[in-house]
Amino acid sequence: MNGLNKQFINIIGVVIVVAVLIAGVALIALPMWSQAQTTDASTRNVAQTNAMYQAQIDQLSAAEARIDEIDAHIAGMRTEITAFSKLDDVFDIVVEAAEKHELVLDKVTASDSEPFASRGTGASTAPADGNDGGTDAGSPASDPPSGQRQIAVTIEVPVPDAVTATAFIDDLRVGPRLVLPIDAALNSSNNTLTVTVLTFIRTEG
């Protein structure tokens, strides 16, 4: 009988010990493990965030090293955008001259803007027969104000004869915008007139 009581007591003791261990795991070990996992995840997130910040810093540092190049590129883009926006009235002059003589334009193209270049006074721009050539016309030779630039606009248009070609060129000079013909050629094989004119813009600086 005493032996059974001792075994029963031992079993109860074992159960209590197991219960205590289980309670310790549940109340202490599991929260600590969960907190460790959370801390580990937070550490990974911080590391990823720091890596992103470092990449941005590296990009900014590289951009800072190229700041002069970037500023020059932006200035060039600003100049070209300004030039393009200021050509609308030039295109209007070309279209009106073509409509006046019932001509259909083939092509009108504008080059990139360039620094103003003074030109001496020259002859008129009556078109020359053939595929090449034409005569230069002059522009004022005075020094331009700061920021003055020029754009070459090339016009291709079929014409019935040289008289119409000359009249078309003359009408390019008429309008609110200075348009200076500098070269003209009449292709006798297809009666296409090619005219290059200069127009002028003023940019910042």
pLDDT in tens, 53-92: 888 888 888 777 777 776 666 655 555 544 455 677 888 8
Q: Which tokens go with 143?
A: 């020094």
Domain boundary among 32, 65, 98: 65
Residue 79 lies in a domain: no
**Could you list the residue range(s) of the whole structural domain that residue 173 is in?**
86-202
**CB 154 within 8 Å of CB 108:** yes
pLDDT beneath 50: ranges in the chain: 81-83, 121-124, 130-144, 205
**CB 127 within 8 Å of CB 169:** yes
Interatomic CA distance for residues 51 and 49, integer angstroms: 5
Domains contained in the chain, number: 2
**CB 146 within 8 Å of CB 156:** no
**pTM here?**
0.49
User: Is 51 found in the same domain as 90?
Assistant: no
Residue 81 lies in a domain: no
User: Is 90 found in the same domain as 157?
Assistant: yes
User: Is 91 found in the same domain as 166?
Assistant: yes
Q: Number of H helices and number of E strands within the chain?
A: 5, 6
User: Is 55 found in the same domain as 10?
Assistant: yes
